[in-house]
Amino acid sequence: MTRTREDFIDDLTLTLLYLTRFNDSEGSPFNEIAWKNYAFEAIKRLDNDDLIVNPKRGMIDGCKYAYLTEKGRKKARELLREFGAEDYPLYERFDFRTIRPEEGEEAAKIEQICFPPNEACTPERIKERIGVASDLFLVAIDCENDGKIAGFLNGIATDEYKFRDEFFTDASLHKEDGKNIMILGLDVLPEYRKQGLGRELVYNYCRREQARGRERLVLTCLQNKVKMYTKFGFVDRGEANSSWGGEKWHEMDISLSVLRPA
Ligand SMILES: CC(C)(COP(=O)(O)OP(=O)(O)OC[C@H]1O[C@@H](n2cnc3c(N)ncnc32)[C@H](O)[C@@H]1OP(=O)(O)O)[C@@H](O)C(=O)NCCC(=O)NCCS
């Protein structure tokens, strides 16, 4: 089917924004930013279609950059496939999506591989959590390996601001429309580590929860992971109110609400 000239300019503009995007390290690293080109009308149409967010929508001295929305990212990936062009290797290989109920067993096994026995959540608790908050489990699927889960990130929603260990053990604390997410585990299988998958899980999760209107993600981690989460944009709040596994934890959080215009 032939596209109109206008539609083709829009598709090319979106694809170019997607391919040249980078992380907004001065604002929120998980928001992907791209410099706009000069097809102003195309930018306006992409903005109106919610494929990008123009931070100064409608203003004459508009910004030089735009944020890609989840919808825009998805459409750009479809266009790349249509054009027969390559995506970033991570996106060629992995699919990021919500966990399926039948994947509970697999996720529970990964948790036991990734964490020592005193830190890992038991298979029963993982499955119980999936039962009440499956949409807060984000999995990275290896498309080149029969749909195997390579890693996942999970949490539960609440209106509370501080972490407490009961979030690990009591899935009934989950409040579907809670403003904050207590992150309960980031797991990447050893054979998939050091390729950026952990970071991508966190960024995808942040963008997804931001789009759902959540305010904040809160997590606890050991001292040796503080630097990693700081790179992801989290702020270290000092010692956490947690004695999980008999260890000392840091509480860290990231704000989702102040970083992008509605
Ligand atoms: C921690 C973990 C999730 C990282 O996953 P990964 O896919 O290897 O991470 P990435 O490749 O996305 O790395 C992102 C950044 O974090 C850093 N990082 C990764 N693992 C780290 C670790 N164990 N300690 C400190 N920094 C680490 C990387 O160097 C990288 O930074 P760079 O881009 O400047 O090089 C993974 O090693 C894992 O599942 N470990 C066991 C479970 C665990 O500890 N989870 C976190 C609990 S709070």
Question: Ligand 1 test: best mutation among 91, 110, 186, most atoms within 8 Å of CB?
Answer: 186
pLDDT (tens digit per residue) in 57-113: 666 556 788 889 889 999 999 999 999 999 999 999 999 999 999 999 999 999 999
97 ligand 1 Cβ < 6 A: no
Ligand 1 centroid to Cα of residue 199, in Å, is 8
- What's the CA gap between 173 and 112, in Å, rounded? 23
Question: CA 163 to CA 252: how far, in whole Å?
Answer: 9
Q: Read off the pLDDT of residues 42-53 as tens digits, 9 standing for 90 and up.
A: 988 999 999 998
Q: Given a cut of 70, is residue 152 above it in pLDDT?
A: yes
Q: Which of the residue ranges 28-32, 35-39, 164-168 would you say has the lowest mean pLDDT?
A: 35-39
Note whether 14 and 72 are within 8 A (CB): yes
Instruction: Report the predicted TM-score, pTM, of the whole model to 2 decimal places.
Output: 0.91
Q: What are phi and psi of 189, to 5 degrees?
A: -60, 145
Q: With 90 as the cut, is the pLDDT of residue 185 above it?
A: yes
225 lines ligand 1 (CB under 6 A): yes
253: left (phi over 0), alpha (psi -120 to 50) or beta: beta
Mean pLDDT for all residues in the chain: 92
Q: Is the CB of 233 under 6 A from ligand 1?
A: no
Q: What is the DSSP string of 165-187?
A: THHHH-GGG--TT-SEEEEEEEE
pLDDT of 189 above 90: yes
- Residue of 182, 228, 249 with the most ligand 1 atoms within 8 Å of its CB, for mutation: 228
As a whole number of angstroms, the distance between CA 6 and CA 125 comes to 52
Task: For residues 226-244, give the mean pLDDT.
Answer: 96
In contact, 172 and 132? CB cutoff 8 Å: yes
45, 47, 52, 54: CA torsion to nearest 10 = 130
Domains and CATH numbers, the chain: 5-87 (1.10.10), 91-255 (3.40.630.30)
pLDDT tens per residue, range 195-220: 999 999 999 999 999 989 999 999 99
Cα-Cα-Cα-Cα dihedral of 185, 171, 205, 96, to 10°? 80
Distance 41 CA to ligand 1 centre (A): 41
Q: Is the pLDDT of residue 130 over 60?
A: yes
pLDDT at 182: 98
- Cα(237) to ligand 1 centroid in Å equals 20
35: number of Cβ within 10 Å = 13
Q: How far apart are CA 238 and CA 226, in angstroms?
A: 10
pLDDT of residue 253 exceeding 70, the answer is yes
Q: Ligand 1, residues 225, 234, 242, 250: which to mutate, most atoms within 8 A of Cβ?
A: 225
Q: Can you tell me which atom of ligand 1 is nearest the CA of 151? A: 39
Which two structure tokens, joined as six digits, stand for 139? 């999995």
